[in-house]
């Protein structure tokens, strides 16, 4: 079995090659990718917290992400979870998030779910 980060990177590359098509028919706007090292420092810190299992600074961290926008591949409810990426200067959670999938994939959004980039780890 491949390590989780390798599996996630392979899945992201496969999604890119397939143009966002999935067997379940759901599309994705995560046709672009971003290397973990290219993410903002706060996103990299959030990924470290996810890897460590917490503790998370926000009560909603780790909750189910519903993918109501339909931008990520269509999966059953509970497959995706969301984590806050703090935004300096914001007094609330801000717009940045990391979304994780149970298959080891990671997505980053900095515009509150209007678009996603698959994170290559």
Residues involved in catalysis = 82, 112
The sign of the CA dihedral 82, 86, 90, 95 is: negative
HSE value, Cβ hemisphere, 13 Å, CA-based, for 17: 6
If DSSP codes are grouped into helix, strand and coil, which group holds residue 16?
Answer: helix
């Amino acid at each position: 079995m491949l390590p989780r980060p390798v599996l996630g990177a392979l899945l992201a590359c496969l999604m890119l090659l397939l143009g966002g098509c999935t067997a379940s028919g759901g599309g994705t706007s995560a046709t672009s990718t971003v290397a973990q090292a290219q993410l903002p420092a706060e996103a990299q810190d959030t990924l470290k917290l996810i890897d460590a299992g917490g503790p998370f600074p926000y009560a909603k961290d780790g909750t189910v992400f519903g993918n109501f926008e339909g931008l990520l591949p269509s999966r059953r409810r509970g497959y995706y979870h969301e984590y806050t990426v703090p935004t300096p200067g914001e007094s609330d959670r801000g717009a940045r998030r990391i979304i994780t999938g149970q298959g080891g994939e990671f997505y980053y959004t900095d515009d509150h779910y209007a678009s996603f980039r698959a994170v290559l780890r």
